[in-house]
Structure 1
Amino acid sequence: MLGRFRRKQGANTQTGVQEQDIGVSNSVEQQGEKPALHVHMPGFNHNGHKVTRGIKPDGESGRGGIHPWHFIRICFRSTSHISMIVNVLWPFVPAAIVIHFARPDLHLWNFILNYIAMVPTANLVGFAGQELARKLPKVFGILLETFLGGIVEIVLFMVLLHNDVNNNLVPVIRAAILGSILANLLLCLGFCFFAGGLLREEQEFDEVISEVGHGLLLMAGFGLLIPTAFYASLRGSIDDALLESKTLNISRITSVILLVAFFIYVYFQMRTHHGLYDSVLEKDEERDRDRHEDLKKAKLTLTECVFALALALTCVSLHAVFLVEEIDYIVTKRGVPDAFMGLILVPLVEKAAEHLTAVDEAWDNQMNFALAHILGATIQTALFNSSLVVIVGWGLDKAMDLNFEVFNIVILIMSIIVVGNFLRDQKSNYLEGSLCILIYVLIAIASWYYPNPAAGTSNTAEGAGTKAGG
């Protein structure tokens, strides 16, 4: 009786407090003032784990520190079945490092092993970035995940620029910039449309993601086109040395402007219009067909995410250095054109993790998430990464500019127009995906047969170009 009386008294007290709160709220509203809203994070998440302050419930692991067995098991399972299959390639990582130091004379094998080894390490960068993004607000998490996915690309660009001698690797860097954009816009987006279209007649996505992304891509394409158009229009009219100097200056100024555009885009997403993106992405989460399975999966701790990123980036950097050292041999001795090396081979390996993540999201009917990753990564390459490599080259006193081959820049502009046409109706199907993939295949075939232009021809300046190109 006494226990029952106390429970009843407690219930009445709680009810009284609630009524008092309601009364206060009503009196505040009557006075024309808005009541203060206090939103509290849930104490426990879907798996019953106590939520750490500052960590989102979906990213709470329920653990702390580093647990080796859990770390290996979670990383091996990765985000999807495809990513898990990619992790089977991890034995190539130590093999590539060993053969680089043991048999540096085996150039072809060094290139092949390091090329393959970059795939699982890039996959780990993508997975650790995704795990870290789960612990953060949605928009900021996607931006961080996209940036971490682009780290592999930045490392490769910086290694190529560092190893450049007399502009012998500049054509490869230029081609790799455009190739990275094409790999995202055509190959990755094509596979997303195709994979999602296999299970559904059509998939819909929001105009907030597609319109803003396509508008920025058009602006980036226009910016990247200007130095090329300037050089091609005036070539033969004025002294070549003067023209090259002016083109280099225009490229550097363009890079600064593109960087400003990128930071405005980030501010737009994170500060002024983040609510629009939040609502769109939350609806996408509700459409996720296996969200219940994703929520139940064991997750990395914050410490494990940082450790995984440090490990993966170290391996990626090593393989990038070893890979770039063999590019000159592959181009000069094996006859692989600069265009194919830059447009196809380099972007495919650097973008592996991002592509796997985006295709898995499209398969799970999260097309807005997939588009956010694809367009976000493409915009980062076009506005940030391309500008960064020019500015770093400026600091190293290297003639790294945005004077692309006319063949490459025309392909880029046409690809942006084609993809924009597919995004216009805010719907996708497997037909559009197939067409994007086929266009990419055509570009790959053309780049294989595209010869290395001799120095002083096309948009190649005197003294530039790989050794194969003179």
Structure 2
Amino acid sequence: MGLFNRRARAPARRPTTNKNMGEKTRGSSGSTPNDGVLPQFNHNGDEITRGIHPDGESGRRGVHPVQFFRIIWKSSCTVSSWVNVLWPFVPAAIALHFIHGDHHLWTFAINYIAMIPAANLLGFAGQEFARKLPKVAGIIIETTLGSVVEIVLFMVLIAKDNGTGEAGHGNKIQVIQAAILGSILTNLLLCLGSCFLIGGLKHKEQRFHAAISEVGSGLILVAGFALMIPSAFFSSLIGSTSTGGEGYTEERLRSNTLSISHGVSIILMVSFMLYLLYNCVSHDNIFAEVLEADEEADRDRHIDLAKAKLTMTECLLAIVLALALISLIAVFLVEEIEYVVEHGIPDNFLGLILVPLVEKAAEHLTAVDEAYDNQINFALYHCLGPSIQTALFNAPLVVIVGWGLGKPMDLNFEIFQVVLLIVAILVVGNFLRDGSSNYLEGGLLVIVYIIIAVTAWYYPNAELTSSNGRASTESGGEGTEALASIAKMLMS
């Protein structure tokens, strides 16, 4: 089987009798039209379009405005539909940006809220689009579209950076670095913890397949190790640098760290391509079987299949509309970051907590709803998949783009952030090891995330304190010891 292999097992046809003559054959949810004379129909009695998976067949063509907005308003689940009540904030956010006056905090707050329904629309449109594709390809494309919000924010932030690399006004690299790790932490701790918690309260214990949990946790561990390397290199050598312009200077160290970050980013992007190859080509049959079994375990599957669906044209229209709104809102948000930081919101809290929460809100709602419906493998895919994409693709992408723009964007994270990432990976990996989940494990993951959020609030901004040996040679040894301890945890 391959990524674009849309053929499936043909359903058994009912014999044609006078009773069902002219009646559309129902009960088929897994075949596409073949070379036979008779057409085939899906579960809703809609004639299947060639190249469209039966579960995503809408039975319509083109764009029908009334039906289009009705389906979007209902969204993918009840919780997601509640998010649509926030749509009035979208035009308000756009209008507030163009109104003159000193209302920066209000502009940030309104745009922050407006990002949620826009991201929800993109997530729903991506889900509808994914339904029309083979299982594995569909969920990967859905995850990729869910990460577009993050990519847009990263691109806007790096474009707005002043390019000096110095901490302080105009530097957006600190926020990007915090947002990269914050996105991974939010998916691994808050989203996965919420899935385990809600799913465990409903089903007591849920078991997931090792093919998803082991591959996901292994990739995250490798990505965490790779992201730690530039920080370890910088922290190990900062104490040995000279300041007189001779020998191994700090400027040379920073240049070498930047070059290492460029090399690591390219390698991580190759790893992401290898991950896609594994999921979509060589082992896609394994993942497809796991996800199909999860669909059969869905207690609301009959209701979900019977829902009206968007056409392919409507899916693409909704995706374009959502991307346009997200891009505008992202620009407006980034322009207000300086004012928000100046009014008491720490850089680390903004990047680690606030930005990931808003960019991943829609995806988290989808994952929690899947866990509630006993689709724990789908939920796990929606938690680990975005974390893998952030670590292996989104973070390297912003480094490469910064390289092209002449911005000193690197992977030299603060020691505090690296410790949080590695400890989170170890905690999640330990919970995934037994292949089952319950509400206790979910609650503990959420508690760990809350502890991180509280700590991030009190962590001072980069210009007020040294991190990873940036301010003095004395701090280099402490940073090296911290990273050495992390390496020992990874080895154990």
What is the TM-score of this pair, normalised by structure 2? 0.85
1:240 to 241, 244, 250: 250
Find the counterpart in structure 2 of residue 65 from structure 1: 62
| Alpha-carbon distance between aligned partners in 1 of 2:235 and 2:354, rounded to the nearest angstrom | 27
Contact 1:231/1:244 (8 A) holds in 2: yes
Using a 3 Å threshold, how does the CA distance of structure 1 residues 456 and 441 change in structure 2: closer, same or farther?
closer
1:171 to 174, 184, 188: 174
| Alpha-carbon distance between aligned partners in 2 of 1:197 and 1:387, rounded to the nearest angstrom | 35
Find the counterpart in structure 1 of residue 294 from structure 2: 284
The letter of the residue matching 1:274 is D
2:359 to 331, 350, 364: 350
Contact 1:244/1:461 (8 A) holds in 2: no
The letter of the residue matching 1:189 is L
2:137 paired with 1:134? no
2:239 is paired with a residue whose SS is coil
Contact 1:172/1:341 (8 A) holds in 2: yes
Find the counterpart in structure 2 of residue 295 from structure 1: 305
Contact 1:284/1:369 (8 A) holds in 2: yes
* Identity among equivalent pairs (%): 62
Cα offset, 1:105, TM superposition: 2.7
Contact 2:55/2:132 (8 A) holds in 1: yes
Find the counterpart in structure 2 of residue 317 from structure 1: 327
1:128-277 matches, within 5 Å, as 128-165=125-162, 166-167=164-165, 168-238=171-241, 239-277=249-287
Contact 2:174/2:462 (8 A) holds in 1: no
Cα offset, 1:183, TM superposition: 0.4
| Alpha-carbon distance between aligned partners in 1 of 2:100 and 2:294, rounded to the nearest angstrom | 50
Find the counterpart in structure 1 of residue 341 from structure 2: 331
Deviations 1:28-84 (A, max 9, x none): xxxxxxxxxx89897101111111110011000000111111011100100111100
Find the counterpart in structure 1 of residue 466 from structure 2: 457
1:412-431 matches, within 5 Å, as 412-431=421-440
Structure having the higher helix fraction is 1
Find the counterpart in structure 1 of residue 452 from structure 2: 443
1:235 is paired with a residue whose SS is helix
Deviations 1:347-388 (A, max 9, x none): 000001110111111010000011111111100001100000
Unaligned runs of 5+ in 1: 1-9, 12-37, 463-470
Moved more, 214-223 or 162-171: 162-171
1:345-384 matches, within 5 Å, as 345-384=354-393
1:97 to 94, 98, 114: 94
Contact 1:125/1:312 (8 A) holds in 2: yes
| Alpha-carbon distance between aligned partners in 1 of 2:354 and 2:60, rounded to the nearest angstrom | 40
Cα offset, 1:240, TM superposition: 1.2
| Alpha-carbon distance between aligned partners in 2 of 1:108 and 1:42, rounded to the nearest angstrom | 58
Contact 1:205/1:367 (8 A) holds in 2: yes
| Alpha-carbon distance between aligned partners in 1 of 2:70 and 2:139, rounded to the nearest angstrom | 24
2:119 paired with 1:122? yes
Cα offset, 1:104, TM superposition: 5.1
The letter of the residue matching 1:211 is E
| Alpha-carbon distance between aligned partners in 1 of 2:119 and 2:404, rounded to the nearest angstrom | 28
Cα offset, 1:335, TM superposition: 1.6
Residue correspondences, number: 426
| Alpha-carbon distance between aligned partners in 2 of 1:42 and 1:322, rounded to the nearest angstrom | 51
1:49 to 34, 46, 49: 46
What is the TM-score of this pair, normalised by structure 1? 0.89
Moved more, 451-460 or 315-324: 451-460
The letter of the residue matching 2:63 is I
| Alpha-carbon distance between aligned partners in 2 of 1:349 and 1:317, rounded to the nearest angstrom | 14
Cα offset, 1:459, TM superposition: 2.9
Find the counterpart in structure 2 of residue 76 from structure 1: 73
The letter of the residue matching 2:229 is I
| Alpha-carbon distance between aligned partners in 2 of 1:295 and 1:212, rounded to the nearest angstrom | 30
| Alpha-carbon distance between aligned partners in 1 of 2:56 and 2:70, rounded to the nearest angstrom | 17
| Alpha-carbon distance between aligned partners in 1 of 2:329 and 2:469, rounded to the nearest angstrom | 29
Find the counterpart in structure 1 of residue 478 from structure 2: none
Unaligned runs of 5+ in 2: 1-15, 18-33, 166-170, 242-248, 472-492
Based on CA coordinates, which of the two structures has the bigger radius of gyration? 1
Contact 1:405/1:460 (8 A) holds in 2: no
The letter of the residue matching 1:142 is I
The letter of the residue matching 1:221 is G
The letter of the residue matching 2:135 is K
The letter of the residue matching 1:362 is A
Find the counterpart in structure 2 of residue 5 from structure 1: none
Find the counterpart in structure 1 of residue 31 from structure 2: none
Contact 2:136/2:280 (8 A) holds in 1: yes
The letter of the residue matching 1:245 is S
The letter of the residue matching 1:244 is R
2:405 to 396, 404, 416: 396
| Alpha-carbon distance between aligned partners in 1 of 2:187 and 2:223, rounded to the nearest angstrom | 14
